[in-house]
């Protein structure tokens, strides 16, 4: 399955198959679940508490990651969506909470 949420021109596809083959897909799913649970709480308090630049950088890529995570995605697609989140957030992550920084930095490069 190739998701329309992850067009083939995204740079995050580069080496994604190789990365997906090297990592433990279950561990990545667990990490992604933890990240989504942290940011997307029902009351949005955590998300709203982030600096505006980090919140803006995270929302769209994290929504894509959530859809991939909740769908019937392949490990490669989960890697691509994770890399998209990391790439979008990494310039701003130092301004956010340490717990978020650790989760973002643990996503595949």
Q: What is the total count of domains within the chain?
A: 1
Asked whether residue 4 is domain-assigned, the answer is no
Asked whether residue 85 is domain-assigned, the answer is yes
Q: pLDDT of 14-59, one tens digit each?
A: 999 999 999 999 999 999 999 999 998 777 889 889 999 999 999 9
Asked whether residue 35 is domain-assigned, the answer is yes
Asked whether residue 100 is domain-assigned, the answer is yes
Asked whether residue 53 is domain-assigned, the answer is yes
Strands (E), the chain: none
Asked whether residue 23 is domain-assigned, the answer is yes
Asked whether residue 6 is domain-assigned, the answer is no
CA neighbours closer than 13 Å in the CB half-sphere of residue 101: 9
Long-range Cβ contacts of 65-68 (<8 Å, 24+ apart): 65/32, 65/35, 65/36, 66/36, 66/40, 67/3, 67/5, 68/3, 68/5, 68/6
**Which structural domain, as residue segments, surrounds residue 80?**
13-106
Asked whether residue 3 is domain-assigned, the answer is no
Q: pLDDT of 75-103, one tens digit each?
A: 999 999 999 999 999 999 999 999 999 99
């Amino acid at each position: 399955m190739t998701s329309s949420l992850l067009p083939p021109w995204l740079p995050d596809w580069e080496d994604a198959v190789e990365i997906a083959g090297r990592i433990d897909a279950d561990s990545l799913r667990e990490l992604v679940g933890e990240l989504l649970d942290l940011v997307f709480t029902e009351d949005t308090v955590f998300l709203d508490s982030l600096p505006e630049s980090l919140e803006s950088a995270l929302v769209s890529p994290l929504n894509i990651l959530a859809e991939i995570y909740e769908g019937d995605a392949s490990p490669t697609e989960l890697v691509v969506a994770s890399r998209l989140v990391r790439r979008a957030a990494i310039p701003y992550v130092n301004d956010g909470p340490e717990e978020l920084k650790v989760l973002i930095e643990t996503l595949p490069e």
